Structure 1
Amino acid sequence: MQKAVIQLETLSCPSCMQKIENAVKGLNGVNQDSLKVLFNASKVKVDFDSETITINDIKKAIEDLGYPVVKSKVKSA
């Protein structure tokens, strides 16, 4: 498992948070229990299986919703 911290542009509404959470939870290889979307910090924290999914796949799912990713960090769990 790897841990990702994804910095987004400022989130403007709590429903944005819910959309991102649902999109990331639906991805294969994501540890759903580890997922946290931090509204005030505009960050997504999640553990994922790097053999099943890449950080780029997770970022693309978020960006496809219309939320630009500013930067991301991955480290081994």
Structure 2
Amino acid sequence: MTETSKKTILRSEDMSCPSCVKKIEGALCALDGVSRAQVYFNTGRIEVEHDPDKVAPARLVEVVAKAGYAAKVSPL
């Protein structure tokens, strides 16, 4: 993580198969300002490192929703 980056944790219970992981990671990593996205299929945890000046947590939730999965911001 850089000085300006922030880690946001999302949770999703909508994932039904491991291929969902790549779809969500790809959608998040395509956003300008996201440096890393890692999805944990077994727990529904989505970790996103991003520049909060470019991408707000609410936008991350929107992108996951557009990929077809409900998600919400979770405390660390």
Q: TM exceeds 0.5?
A: yes
**2:56 corresponds to:** 54
Gaps of 5+ in 2: none
Q: CA RMSD in A?
A: 1.5
**2:66 corresponds to:** 64
Q: Are 2:24 and 1:20 equivalent residues in the alignment?
A: yes
The TM-score with structure 2 as length reference comes to 0.84
**Which gives a bigger RCO, structure 1 or 2 (Cα 8 Å, sep 6+)?**
1
**1:31 corresponds to:** 35
How high is the sequence identity, in percent, across the aligned residues?
Answer: 31
Distance 1:4 1:61 in 2: 14
Q: What is the Cα deviation at residue 43 of structure 1?
A: 1.2
The TM-score with structure 1 as length reference comes to 0.83
Distance 2:35 2:75 in 1: 14
The structure 1 segments of at least 4 consecutive aligned residues displaced by more than 3 Å after TM superposition are none
Q: How many residues align?
A: 72
Distance 2:20 2:45 in 1: 12
Distance 2:49 2:75 in 1: 9
Distance 2:64 2:16 in 1: 15
Larger proportion of strand: 1
Q: Residue 32 of structure 2: SS of its match in structure 1?
A: coil
User: What code does the residue aligned with 2:56 have?
Assistant: T
